Amino acid sequence: MTTTASHPPEDLGPRPQTGGLGIANVSKVYDPEGRAVVALDDFSLDVEAGDFVAIVGPSGCGKSTLLNILAGFDTPTSGEVLLDGVPLAGPDLAPRPGPDRVVVFQQGALFPWMTVLGNVTYGLLKQGGVSRREAEARAITLLAESGKLDRIADAYPAQLSSGMQRRVEIIRALINDPRVLLLDEPFRAMDTVNKSTMHRHLLELYSRNRKTIVFITHDLEEALFLADRVIVMTTRPGTLKMDIAVNLPRPRKREMMASDAYLALREKAVFAVSEEAKRAFERGEREMA
* Contacting residues toward another protein, per CB under 8 A: 3, 5, 33-38, 41-42, 71-73, 97-99, 101-103, 105-109, 111-114, 122-123, 126-127, 156, 158-159, 172-173, 176, 234, 236-237, 239-245, 247, 268, 272, 283
Pick between residue 13 and residue 154 the one whose CB is nearest to another protein.
Answer: 154
* Residues with Cβ within 8 Å of residue 126, at least 6 apart in sequence: none
What is the torsion angle, in degrees rounded to the nearest 10, for the CA atoms of residue 116, residue 122, residue 124 and residue 130? 90
Q: How many residues does the chain have?
A: 289
Least CB distance to another protein at residue 34 (A): 3
Paired with 230 in beta bridges are 54, 244
- Candidates 124, 116, 121, 153; CA nearest to 136 is 121
Ramachandran angles phi, psi of 164, nearest 5° = -65, -40
Tell me how far apart the alpha carbons of residues 255 and 140 are, in angstroms, rounded to a whole number. Answer: 33
Least CB distance to another protein at residue 181 (A): 11
Least CB distance to another protein at residue 193 (A): 21
Q: Which helix (H) or strand (E) holds 119?
A: helix 116-127
Pick between residue 126 and residue 133 the one whose CB is nearest to another protein.
Answer: 126
- Candidates 25, 23, 26, 18; CA nearest to 84 is 18
Least CB distance to another protein at residue 7 (A): 9
Pick between residue 14 and residue 260 the one whose CB is nearest to another protein.
Answer: 260
Least CB distance to another protein at residue 13 (A): 24
Pick between residue 205 and residue 269 the one whose CB is nearest to another protein.
Answer: 269
Pick between residue 13 and residue 96 the one whose CB is nearest to another protein.
Answer: 96
